[in-house]
Amino acid sequence: MSVVGTHLAVSDIGFSYRRGGEELFGGLSHEFATASVTAVTGPSGRGKSTLLYVLGLMLTPRRGTVMIDGRPVSLMSDASRSGIRANGIGFVFQDAVLDPARTVLDCVTEPGVYNGRGRGATRHHARQLLADLDVGLRADHRPGEISGGQAQRVAIARALVNDPSIVLADEPTGNLDHGNATTVLATLSAAAKAGRTVVIATHDPFVLESVDHVLAL
């Protein structure tokens, strides 16, 4: 399936976890380049992961807006934001967060269930992604039976299974050896070359040396 590039931007955003609490981002405005990988970096506590959750419409900024193709999506209803997340955004969590009761294949196909894609087509695509990430032989295993590096590659496949236009990855190489980190980064870079907007929260020098753009908080 072809991927349409999606323009992601923030305008004058600020966020705090409680009213009157310390504000993160301080009125950040930024346009994330389409068909590119942008790394978000900065010292601990500056809100790298929080920014991804704001971009992914899982947290709402206290001020300012998140915009997709010029639409102020952070101001939309819960139902509208949920639809955008399900159909247009793939998220890779810092820990793979795979359901231990499901097989690897079922974990990857789960997002397709939520957005109404056909089960057969979704499973076929999931198997293809797992094979591309060199974990195809683990499709019928459960998460507890695979390594941490394999689990993170499975999480990448899950994030890509719906062909999202935006991919957000939170420290995807943080707990990986160099080989697994190289595979994960290469997959995210390929996703960007296919037209996606990819944003990675990271402090990993290897990632920072390999991405197209860096946003320092």
Whole-model pTM: value is 0.91
Pick the range with the lowest mean pLDDT from 18-22, 31-35, 87-91.
18-22
Q: How confident is the model at residue 4 (pLDDT cuts 50, 70, 90)?
A: very low
The predicted-structure confidence for 68-118, as pLDDT tens digits, reads as follows 999 999 999 999 998 888 889 999 988 878 888 999 999 999 887 767 677
The predicted-structure confidence for 61-77, as pLDDT tens digits, reads as follows 999 999 999 999 999 99
Which domains does the chain carry?
8-216 (3.40.50.300)
pLDDT reported for residue 3: 43
Question: How would you classify residue 96: left for phi > 0, otherwise alpha for psi between -120 and 50, otherwise beta?
Answer: alpha
